[in-house]
Structure 1
Amino acid sequence: MKKYKVGYIAGVFDLFHIGHLNLLRRAKEQCGHLIVGVLVDELAVACKNKKPFIPFEERIQIVESIKYVDQAVTVVQETLDKMVAWEKYRFDCLFSGDDWRGHPVWIMEEKKLNALGAEIMFFTYTKSISSTQLRQAINESKSEV
């Protein structure tokens, strides 16, 4: 039996790679219904200071086609707030990569979610690949041409 009924994870999911797949697979192993939020392009720029290579419409199609994902949803400024997302989706657990563990904002969010009966679970970040590494490789190959 799964530990949680509904799980939620949000991200940009640009240049989709095995690290993203690992996160989604691990999250789905913990819950019966996995909701995955995909940030719109404007929000991705605001949060990461980078425009995604893959447009939002394509990124959400990629995410919703993955067998571990039960529901793909659009993340806009309002639903970026974890409490607003909880109000909307009523998840039991918020999943994240462990690169956010210990961050003051996430510590505060965890306290708020715990008070609502929800938890945060962090998964080990896949160190062998990242969207940043892929972006650098693409930019290097463009400059070699």
Structure 2
Amino acid sequence: MKKYKIGYTTGVFDMFHIGHLNIIRRAKEQCDRLIVGVSTDEVVESYKHHKPVIPFEHRLAIVGACRYVDEVVPQESMDKFEAWQHLKFDAMFHGSEWKGTELYNSYEAKFAEVGVEIIYLTPTAGISSTMLREKNGK
């Protein structure tokens, strides 16, 4: 497994669960330093059309307390290349459900120009914040 210097991953991390922990842990195993972007409430509302159950400041504190996370930053835009311009990571970790999509194909091409690799991680089966929300009638 290749070891990257600086890795980056993002998420809403609403109702922090084992799937979140697994993605963060598996990303950290592949890099010396892991930066995690936590989506602001405004960013989440802009594309999911609902507020997260857990407020942004709480989600930021929860993710920041995880031993695998070296730095936690607000994700104020969905533009991953914009994040790279500020953070200069050499690997971005993302869920494999996005692999092959038009958006991530374009990210792969753009990131390749600056030497950044996208590593796709398989989500933990049987758990997601959406599933938890639906199970609890939210």
Task: Sort the TM-score into its range (normalised by shorter chain).
Answer: over 0.9
Instruction: Provide the residue aligned with 1:73 in structure 2.
Output: 73
Q: Report the equivalent of 2:110.
A: 112
Q: For 2:96 and 2:46, locate their aligned partners in 1 and report how far apart those are by CA, in whole Å.
A: 21
What is the distance in 1 between the residues matched to 2:2 and 2:113?
22
| SS of corresponding position for 1:109 | helix
The alpha-carbon deviation at position 89 of structure 1 amounts to: 0.5
Looking at structure 1, the residues matched to 95 and 107 of structure 2 have their Cα atoms a distance apart, in angstroms, of 15
TM-score (norm 2): 0.96
**For residues 24-52 of structure 1, what are the alpha-carbon distances to aligned partners after superposition, in whole Å with 9 as ceiling and x for unaligned?**
00000000000000010011111222210
Unaligned runs of 5+ residues in structure 1 are 141-145
Q: For the residues of structure 1 that align with 2:24 and 2:2, how far apart are their CA atoms?
A: 15
Amino-acid identity (%): 50
Find the counterpart in structure 2 of residue 89 from structure 1.
87
Shift of 1:2: 6.1
1:83 deviates by: 1.4
Structure 1 counterpart of 2:61 = 61
Number of residues paired by the alignment? 138
Alpha-carbon contact 1:2-1:32 (below 8 Å) kept: no
What is the aligned partner in structure 1 of residue 134 from structure 2?
136
| Residue type of the alignment partner of 1:25 | R
Distance in 2, Cα, partners of 1:29 & 1:21: 12
**If each structure's helix is expressed as a fraction of its own residues, which one has the higher value?**
1
Q: State the match for 1:5 in structure 2.
A: 5
Which residue pairs with 1:121 in the alignment?
119
SS at match of 1:139: coil
- The Cα RMSD (Å) is 1.3
Q: Which runs of 4+ in 1 moved over 6 A?
A: none
* 1: CA distance, partners of 2:98 / 2:48: 14
Q: Gapped runs of 5+ residues in structure 2?
A: none
